[in-house]
Amino acid sequence: MVNPAKVADIDELRRTVGDVLGAAGWPEPLWFETTVDDPGRGQTAKALAAGVDVVFACGGDGTVMACVDALVGTEAALAVLPQGTGNLLAANLGLSDDLTAGLAVAVERGRRLLDVGEVDGQHFAVMAGMGFDAQMLDATSETTKRRIGWPAYVVGATRHLRDRPMRVSIRLDDQPPLRRRVRSVLVANVGRLQGGLTLLTEAEPDDGYLDVAVLTPRTLRHWVSLGWAVLRRRDRVPRMEVYRARRVEITSNRNQPRELDGDLIAPGRELRVQIRRRALWLCVPRPAQAPDLAEDATAAAERGERLAEQGGGEG
């Protein structure tokens, strides 16, 4: 799956992919390009119908999210080949942004079974957000991202630091709702942001929970304190509350911008998120010390556990 807008030389990409996979004894790969109308979900569905075992996502966060959406609940694995300003899922899982290294990870057949989040039938692997984070994305131009990379998001963020907060009700699982005046609520499967910043240190993509960050800065000084604590990786971050849940319902007093995995979705007053446990296979480096048979047995055991969970009615 290739986003042609993110790749400088598609012919060179095809040669490299063909050479690496051919040397490993893999068959000639199928090629699909994303379009403005379909960023990758339909193409991934066609690949699955053709019986593929691995889908390579070569593009940015939007391309990867579209592939994730189609791969959830299947036995095919996702291999991420980051392009453009990088990819948050790859960064959180420690995957290389080098093309040859990314192909080698898939060929080695290391696999990790991840949770994903679900919002109105759409799936995400990194995080969903409502408020300031989506405003920042909306204010960041593609041209600036191509020119300076991830610092472009900082430029977009400065335009909204002084915006008024929103009043929200946040329900976590079956707990009584929390009522807050916030700038942003993030519901995360992993904890790392653009630029290598780690916001949620305890978040793991396969722990069965979503981590929720409630950001409440009201002044520029508050933002500076919050940002400095995140940069220093402090255990306690001012103006941020952290929770964990499997279902999260956020209701605002007015329409708010919203995003999934760095892509904007339609604004709304609500963001309802639930976890899909053990729903996505991801290609990851194999542990150096793990023998092949042990790795195969682990993957088989995980597959059996997931099938048992699905049979028991868990999402």
Q: Which tokens hold the place of 106?
A: 């898939």
- Percent residues over pLDDT 70 in the chain: 90
pLDDT, average across residues 220-239: 91
Q: What is the pLDDT of residue 177?
A: 97
Question: Does the structure show a pLDDT above 60 at 15?
Answer: yes
Q: Which residues contact 287 (CB under 8 A, 6 or more apart)?
A: 110, 295
Q: Which residues contact 131 (CB under 8 A, 6 or more apart)?
A: 166, 182, 183, 184, 185, 215, 252, 256, 257
Instruction: pLDDT band for 46, please (50, 70, 90 cuts).
Output: very high
CATH 3.40.50.10330 domain extents, the chain: 4-117+276-311
Question: Does the structure show a pLDDT above 90 at 245?
Answer: yes
Q: How far apart are CA 311 and CA 315, in angstroms?
A: 10
pLDDT, average across residues 236-250: 97
Q: What is the pLDDT of residue 291?
A: 46
Question: Does the structure show a pLDDT above 80 at 194?
Answer: no
Lowest average pLDDT, out of 40-49, 151-160, 207-216, 283-292, goes to: 283-292
Question: Does the structure show a pLDDT above 90 at 181?
Answer: yes
Q: What is the pLDDT of residue 303?
A: 59
Which of the two residues, 133 and 314, has the higher pLDDT score?
A: 133
Q: Which tokens hold the place of 57?
A: 């996502």
Q: Which tokens hold the place of 51?
A: 């019986």
Q: How far apart are CA 116 and CA 189, in angstroms?
A: 7
Q: What is the pLDDT of residue 174?
A: 96
Mean pLDDT of the chain: 89
Q: What is the pLDDT of residue 310?
A: 52
For the chain, first and last CA: distance in Å?
Answer: 27
Enumerate the H helices of the chain as residue ranges: 10-23, 41-49, 61-71, 88-92, 99-108, 132-138, 142-148, 151-158, 220-231, 292-311
Q: How many Cβ atoms are within 10 Å of 211's Cβ, its own excluded?
A: 23
Q: Domain 4-117+276-311 class? A: alpha beta
Q: What is the pLDDT of residue 301?
A: 53
Instruction: pLDDT band for 242, please (50, 70, 90 cuts).
Output: very high
CATH 2.60.200.40 domain extents, the chain: 123-274
pLDDT, average across residues 296-312: 54
Nearest to 77, CA basis, from 310, 308, 286, 290: 286
Question: Does the structure show a pLDDT above 70 at 165?
Answer: yes
Q: Domain 123-274 class? A: mainly beta
Lowest average pLDDT, out of 58-72, 144-158, 214-228, goes to: 144-158
Instruction: pLDDT band for 83, please (50, 70, 90 cuts).
Output: confident
pLDDT, average across residues 84-113: 89
Question: Does the structure show a pLDDT above 90 at 116?
Answer: yes
DSSP 5: G
Which of the two residues, 179 and 85, has the higher pLDDT score?
A: 179
Question: Does the structure show a pLDDT above 50 at 294?
Answer: no
DSSP 46: H
pLDDT, average across residues 89-103: 91
Lowest average pLDDT, out of 86-95, 265-274, 290-299, goes to: 290-299
Question: Does the structure show a pLDDT above 50 at 276?
Answer: yes
Q: What is the pLDDT of residue 120?
A: 95
Which of the two residues, 155 and 25, has the higher pLDDT score?
A: 25
- Is residue 233 exposed (0-12), middle (13-18) or buried (19+ Cβ within 10 Å)? exposed
